[in-house]
């Protein structure tokens, strides 16, 4: 397949370490993909779904001990501990290599080594990068074939370059005690053992496109972010692009594919999806910030996805999709999850493969759910009805606004604009959100998750903040404007006040109007908040007082928030950029 010496040498090392019985190069061809699907069905790794209703769709169940990213077992292995920083687990690279090689040694015996050369970003684009993953899991191969660009051309583009990311995945015994997801940014290397779950094993995704790429971006002057990218077309046919960072399971896929409310659709507003999870951004020749989506598919949260909440995501899953840990409706061999529709299947298997008793289903008790709360679909981006025509172009789209957000029941208003780039970096650095099922551990606990990158930043987060500040200096007055949104304010009964989903378009319109200097705002201690009359409530069952309520900046809550930010900042010690310290002081002064 290739004569690249760095590739051949690494593969020889891997073969010697892992001792596979067979070696298979993955070329992205239809024939090979078909053979692998058939093989996975034979071994039980995949279940073939109803091919009339869901052509080329399959179901996979992971080991119940292996259903989400494992942040406590994720490591950044840099030679200096300080380079991993206070928010990452760190281990000395030599020690970690030895430990992982001992775990992986001989683990492919009796198995096949699949070699996947892939491109993150359109093949050959100046913004794209290449990786090679070896794995012993057909499920991983089939997912990588959807999520990344796998093609013979990838190796042609690589030529004899050494600029590619090594990825070793071995399922081993799927032993949670020996599960490790490790990154060696100084060596462009990732090693993942004892897992078979998405974010832990599809090494092009979080491991490469965020942890390794964020490190590369720091060294090379660009940015790898946990952001969706969408294009908003106005009735004049102009498209403006927004990139938004929300923590896992906080609404990126939904926002990226939103369908505007009817009254806006009638006027001619449209949303185009460029990406739903990751953005790579560089300063373009005209000095603006340009973004590409390095992925080729969507690894989306299934529960809650339905025709109303996210029609485009649901459509995307109707062919060529792999479902993981959803329920199987035995009546017609299709899939089901909580929130898909109100027809609880009567004859179904839950995500573990056990008969599911709909009569015992209790929304509040996750253990009675048919689908795992972090069950996912892996769907080809090309299936998406609103995929942007820019998606396959390598040049990237110019970003007008960057939006941060998270789940905050009480604190952050529906939307506000930062005062300038520096203040926007402060807003991102102080971001917090209630935890979700996307990572193992407690759910619903507020934690600081700067720029939604807490689990994904491949280097010292204080250096990452400084990198953001530096990017702002380079962008100058061409920098995107920075905003913060919160779709998740709750009332006294704990219900979400804002309708969310398609109606979030009303907020996006205000954001773009602000970018164009067309909308008014009220200055507060935290930034510019909309005048209630500037959020269009046409056709919404919401009164002005309710809207005003979710736009309020409560001084008492924010004073507590400022104290918590101060606490959060202490972790970074002297490395915290002075600009951010000043920003915090400004906030405190503004709240007095
Ligand atoms: P990852 O793939 O883990 O990075 O998640 P994501 O950020 O793409 O989140 P996604 O869009 O899949 O949404 C996660 C959950 O949030 C789903 O259950 C959605 O139904 C819910 N959600 C998304 N948008 C909204 C919204 O505007 N309002 C409310 N209340 N819920 C939302
Ligand atoms: C996330 O958790 O942010 C995801 C899913 O997008 S995973 O690929 O598992 O990281
Ligand atoms: Mn994500």
Atom of ligand 1 nearest to the CA of 301: 12
Pairing verdict, β 164-170 and 129-135: parallel
pLDDT exceeds cutoff 90 at 271: yes
**Token pair recorded at residue 545:** 């007082």
State whether 92 and 196 are in the same domain: yes
Give the distance (Å) from ligand 3 centre to CA of residue 559. 30
pLDDT in tens, 274-311: 999 999 999 999 999 999 999 999 999 999 999 999 99
pLDDT in tens, 535-587: 999 999 999 999 999 999 999 999 999 999 999 999 999 999 999 999 999 99
Q: How far is the C-alpha of 518 from the C-alpha of 208, rounded, in Å?
A: 39
Nearest alpha carbon to residue 60 among 378, 382, 330: 378
pLDDT in tens, 495-523: 999 999 999 999 999 999 999 999 999 99
Q: Which residue among 358, 383, 408 closes a domain?
A: 383
Question: Which helix (H) or strand (E) covers residue 421, if one does?
Answer: helix 421-429
Say whether 93 sits in a helix, a strand or coil. Answer: helix
Give the distance (Å) from ligand 3 centre to CA of residue 19. 33
Structurally, how many domains does the chain consist of? 3
Give the domain extent around 320: 298-383
The answer to whether residue 334 is domain-embedded is yes
Residue 363 banded pLDDT, cuts 50, 70, 90: confident
**Token pair recorded at residue 113:** 């080594």
Closest ligand to residue 433's CA = 1
What pLDDT sits at residue 462? 98
Nearest alpha carbon to residue 145 among 295, 252, 280: 295
Residues 6+ apart with CB under 8 A from 101: 17
pLDDT in tens, 311-338: 999 999 999 999 999 999 999 999 999 9
pLDDT exceeds cutoff 90 at 24: yes
State yes or no: is 250 an active-site residue.
yes
Asked if residues 501 and 125 have their Cβ atoms less than 8 Å apart, the reply is: no
State the average pLDDT for the chain. Answer: 97
Residue carrying the six token digits 């004899």:
160
Q: Which residues pair with 167 in a beta bridge?
A: 133, 190
pLDDT in tens, 459-478: 999 999 999 999 999 999 99
What pLDDT sits at residue 278? 98
State whether 551 and 491 are in the same domain: yes
Please state, for a pLDDT cut of 90, what percent of the chain lies above it: 97
Q: How far is the C-alpha of 469 from the C-alpha of 98, rounded, in Å?
A: 37
Say whether 552 sits in a helix, a strand or coil. Answer: coil
Closest ligand to residue 206's CA = 2
The set of protein residues with a Cβ atom below 6 angstroms from ligand 2 is 69, 198-199, 205-206, 248, 277, 299, 438
State whether 331 and 461 are in the same domain: no
246: Cα within 13 Å, side-chain hemisphere: 26
pLDDT exceeds cutoff 90 at 366: no
The answer to whether residue 276 is domain-embedded is yes
Closest ligand to residue 196's CA = 2
Atom of ligand 2 nearest to the CA of 247: 3
What average pLDDT does range 397-415 have in this prediction?
Answer: 97
* Ranges assigned E (strand) in 212-269: 223-225, 227-233, 239-245
Establish whether residue 501 lines the binding site of ligand 1, counting it when its CB lies within 6 angstroms of any ligand atom: yes
Atom of ligand 2 nearest to the CA of 202: 8
For 81, 253, 366, 380, 502, the CA distances from 309, given in Å and listed in that order, are: 44, 11, 21, 19, 7
Say whether 201 sits in a helix, a strand or coil. Answer: helix
| Minimum CA distance residue for ligand 2 atom 8 | 199
Catalytic residue selected from 57, 172, 207, 250: 250
| Minimum CA distance residue for ligand 1 atom 10 | 251
DSSP codes of every residue in 428-483 = HHT-EEE--TTBSS-SS-EEE-GGG-TTT--S-HHHHHHHHHHHHHHHGGGSPEEE
pLDDT exceeds cutoff 90 at 426: yes
Give the distance (Å) from ligand 2 centre to CA of residue 239. 28
Q: What CATH number should be reported for the domain holding residue 577?
A: 3.90.228.20
The answer to whether residue 145 is domain-embedded is yes
> Maximum distance among all alpha carbons in the chain?
69
What pLDDT sits at residue 251? 97
Q: How far is the C-alpha of 235 from the C-alpha of 255, rounded, in Å?
A: 20
Establish whether residue 438 lines the binding site of ligand 1, counting it when its CB lies within 6 angstroms of any ligand atom: yes
| Minimum CA distance residue for ligand 1 atom 18 | 304
Give the distance (Å) from ligand 2 centre to CA of residue 370. 21
Q: Which residue among 367, 383, 399 closes a domain?
A: 383
State whether 207 and 346 are in the same domain: no
| Minimum CA distance residue for ligand 2 atom 7 | 199
pTM (predicted TM-score): 0.98
pLDDT exceeds cutoff 90 at 364: no
Tell me which of 224, 256, 299, 405 to substitute to probe ligand 2's pocket, judged by most ligand atoms within 8 Å of the beta carbon: 299
What average pLDDT does range 162-176 have in this prediction?
Answer: 98
Asked if residues 146 and 323 have their Cβ atoms less than 8 Å apart, the reply is: no
pLDDT in tens, 224-270: 999 999 999 999 999 999 999 999 999 999 999 999 999 999 999 99
Q: Which residue among 221, 236, 253 closes a domain?
A: 221
Say whether 85 sits in a helix, a strand or coil. Answer: coil
What is residue 402's DSSP assignment? Answer: E
Give the distance (Å) from ligand 1 centre to CA of residue 372. 15
């Amino acid at each position: 397949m290739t004569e690249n010496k760095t590739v051949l040498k690494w593969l020889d090392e891997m073969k010697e370490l892992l001792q596979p019985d067979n070696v298979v190069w993955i070329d992205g061809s239809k024939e090979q993909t078909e053979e692998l699907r058939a093989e996975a069905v034979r071994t039980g790794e995949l279940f073939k779904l109803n091919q009339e209703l869901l052509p080329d769709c399959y179901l996979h169940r992971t080991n119940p001990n292996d259903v989400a990213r494992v942040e406590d077992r994720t490591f950044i292995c840099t030679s200096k501990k300080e380079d991993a920083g206070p928010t990452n687990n760190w281990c000395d690279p030599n020690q970690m290599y030895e430990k992982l090689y001992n775990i992986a040694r001989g683990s492919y015996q009796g198995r096949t080594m699949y070699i996947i050369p892939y491109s993150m970003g359109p093949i050959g684009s100046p913004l794209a990068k290449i990786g090679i993953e070896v794995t012993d899991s057909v499920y991983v191969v089939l997912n990588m074939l959807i999520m990344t660009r796998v093609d013979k051309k990838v190796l042609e583009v690589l030529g004899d370059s050494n600029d590619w990311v090594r990825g070793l995945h071995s399922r081993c015994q799927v032993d949670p005690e020996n599960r490790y997801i490790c990154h060696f940014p100084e060596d462009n290397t990732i090693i993942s053992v004892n897992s078979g779950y998405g974010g832990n094993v599809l090494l092009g995704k979080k491991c490469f496109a965020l942890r390794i790429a964020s490190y590369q971006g720091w060294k090379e002057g660009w940015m790898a972010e946990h952001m969706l990218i969408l294009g908003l077309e106005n009735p004049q046919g102009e498209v403006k692009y927004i990139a938004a960072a929300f923590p896992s399971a906080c609404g990126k896929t939904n926002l990226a594919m939103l369908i505007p409310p009817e009254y806006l659709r009638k006027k001619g507003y449209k949303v185009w999806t460029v990406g739903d999870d990751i953005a790579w951004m560089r300063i373009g020749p005209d000095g603006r910030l340009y973004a590409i989506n390095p992925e080729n598919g969507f690894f989306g949260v299934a529960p809650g996805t339905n025709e109303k909440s996210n029609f485009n995501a649901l459509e995307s899953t109707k062919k060529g999709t792999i479902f993981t840990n959803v329920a199987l409706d035995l009546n017609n061999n299709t899939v089901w999850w909580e929130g898909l529709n109100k027809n609880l299947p009567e004859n179904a298997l839950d995500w573990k493969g056990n008969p599911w008793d709909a009569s015992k289903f209790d929304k509040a008790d996750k253990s009675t759910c048919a689908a795992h709360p972090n069950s996912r679909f892996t769907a080809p981006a090309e299936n998406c009805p609103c995929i942007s025509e820019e998606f396959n172009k390598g040049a990237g789209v110019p970003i007008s606004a960057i939006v941060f957000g998270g789940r905050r029941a009480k604190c952050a208003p529906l939307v506000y604009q930062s005062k300038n780039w520096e203040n926007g970096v402060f807003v991102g650095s102080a971001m917090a959100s209630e935890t979700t099922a996307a990572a193992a551990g407690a759910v619903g606990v507020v934690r600081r998750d700067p720029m939604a990158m807490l689990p994904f930043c491949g280097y010292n987060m204080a250096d990452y903040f400084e990198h953001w500040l530096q990017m702002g200096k380079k962008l100058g007055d061409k920098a995107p404007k920075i905003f913060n949104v919160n779709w998740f304010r709750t009332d006294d009964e704990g219900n979400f006040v804002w309708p969310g989903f398609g109606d979030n378009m009303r907020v996006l319109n205000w954001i773009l109007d602000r970018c164009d200097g067309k909308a008014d705002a009220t200055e507060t201690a935290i930034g510019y908040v909309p005048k209630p009359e500037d959020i269009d409530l046409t056709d919404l069952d919401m009164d002005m007082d309710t809207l005003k309520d979710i736009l309020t900046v409560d001084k008492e809550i924010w004073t507590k928030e400022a104290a918590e930010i101060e606490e959060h900042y202490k972790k970074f010690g002297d490395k915290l950029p002075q600009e951010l310290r000043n920003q915090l002081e400004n906030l405190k002064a503004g709240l007095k």
